[in-house]
């Protein structure tokens, strides 16, 4: 199973993460940074969601790709940096 993690900036230092299964929202949570949202989603994958292979990780309108929960726990900062770089290239 693959889920989507959609992160949006509410205001500086306040981000909201939406965990989605297709169009169905499975839950939301607030964090202080993009990397914190990535780390928390990766941590929530065990053992709550057995059968979860990974997440499509989004920040606003850009996607970093499909990531395993373990990679999200190990390198959330690297994924966040990739998302921010992509976001800067494709500002809407």
Q: What is the pLDDT of residues 39-70, one digit of tens each?
A: 999 988 765 556 788 999 999 999 999 999 99
pLDDT of residue 47: 56
What is the average pLDDT value for the chain, to the nearest integer? 92
Buried b (16+ CB within 10 A) or exposed e, 40-63: bbbebbeeeeeebebbebbbbebb
pLDDT of residue 64: 93
pLDDT of residue 39: 96
Alpha carbon 41 to its chain centroid, in Å, reads: 7
pTM: 0.90
Number of compact structural domains in the chain:
1
**DSSP calls for 42-67:** HHHTTTTSTT--EEEEEETTEEEEEE
Question: Which range of residues forms the domain containing residue 60?
Answer: 2-89
Residue 30 has pLDDT above 90, yes or no: yes
């Amino acid at each position: 199973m693959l889920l989507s993690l959609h992160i949006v900036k509410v205001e500086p230092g306040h981000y909201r993460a939406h965990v989605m299964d297709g169009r169905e929202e499975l839950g939301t949570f607030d964090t202080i940074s993009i990397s914190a949202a990535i780390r928390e989603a990766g941590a929530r994958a065990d053992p709550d969601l057995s059968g979860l292979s990974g997440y499509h990780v989004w920040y606003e309108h850009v996607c970093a790709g499909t990531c395993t929960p373990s990679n999200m726990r190990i390198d959330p900062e690297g994924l966040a940096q990739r998302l921010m770089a992509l976001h800067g290239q494709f500002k809407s």
